[in-house]
Structure 1
Amino acid sequence: MLKVFDDLSTPLVADACLRVDVPLRVAPSGIGAVISGHRIAGRALPVRHYGSVDVFLEAFGKTGQGDVLVIDNGGRSDEACIGDLAVLEARAAGVAALVVWGLHRDTPELVEIGLPVFSYGNYPPGPVRLDEREPEALTTARFGPHLVSGDDIVFGDEDGVLFVPAEHVEEVLATAHTIRQTEREQARRIRAGETLRKQTSFDDYLAQRAADPSYTFRQHLRRTGGAIEE
């Protein structure tokens, strides 16, 4: 999956979701990679954290090679829920990356380990609580407003993280490739001196909008083959 994602980006995948009418599920703003430049793509392995590492160890028993551990820590800013030992164990289990709705710690050690980890950032203290475990602890993970399951594929890069249903991922990625080709050609033409306004017949759009105020630029782009907004 990572190889297929290699020449794409999360913005392209997000645009493709809109294009093919797949619900757009993006991790909250601020989720980023511990090591700049890391990219991830793989099936979600969801887990909910309650204050103890045991739930991670249990989840690792269900790992498929290349899975992305998606950790629901409620977006908490008062504790780090993973550190170097959990990440080392994840790597030993075949996990390809970790995405945390929360914080991490042991940053120098995580950099040395090198396994992609995405989170809100670093924080020294670990959890001091132990909450009651839910029945869904190993089947779904909340991530912001979204519910992630093993039926989802996780994509992440320097722009953020998003989740795509596995049943739609082939169509979404094919569309993302098409959008990429269109945008790269548009960029080439701008560098060659042909402005985006000219490429998109922007004066014609303004004239049609004046005649019909309901006429949108997205409608115009679809008609002219542009791809800059979706």
Structure 2
Amino acid sequence: MVDTLGLLLCVMVTAASVQDRDGAPPVLALLRQKFSTIALVWADGGYAGRLVTWAGQVLGLDVSIVRRSDDLRGFVVLRALPWERPEIVVGVDSSPQAHRVLEAAFTEAELRGTVLHAVLAWNWPHLSGFEPTVPEEEHDQSHVLKEILAEHREHHPHIPVTADVVHGHPVAVLREAAAGADLLMVGSHGHGTFTGMLLGSVSHALLHRSPCPLVVVRSETSGEN
């Protein structure tokens, strides 16, 4: 038995003498045991009859008999599964502009009905590169992100939010986080955790390297978005 993407959910091996209709009940019972949230199962015409009634009464499964015409080829996914849900990635730092970027991102996620993935990339610039991370510093950055998100989550309680703190260069971190996303949103400038590093340089680099559509939210002083 497979899902609408063709991914295997469960399988049962029976003797060749066992008819499909006789082998279906234990397969459906196994499906119900392993995947308690499944409510609808599509089956071909060979399973019509008592199986439909039995599955509904005993397992609480709606077995829907489907047939396709001889000239129909392939299949169409009729519903979006949880891992297919669209996502907006927003880059967050500790600058005052972070709230403006987040408000724009929450509003866009609400309009689109998407998940919002907030990412705070951090590292400490050093003459020889970037300092390695330590657990205490990463915990501090996690607290910063939680505090920044708190107010916006309160105003947009229905938006599903995921949050990650990642040690690394913000351009590389945001590019990786946005791979497969519907939209990436960042601010245009402002000093944050990275002393001496303008977020404008990050947004400029992402204009040329973003793996998905990019929105750059300008600061209030610029009067532009």
Settle same-fold status: TM greater than 0.5.
no
The structure, 1 or 2, with the larger RCO (C-alpha pairs under 8 Å, 6+ apart) is 1
* TM-score in terms of structure 1 length: 0.27
* TM-score in terms of structure 2 length: 0.27
Larger Rg: 1 or 2?
2
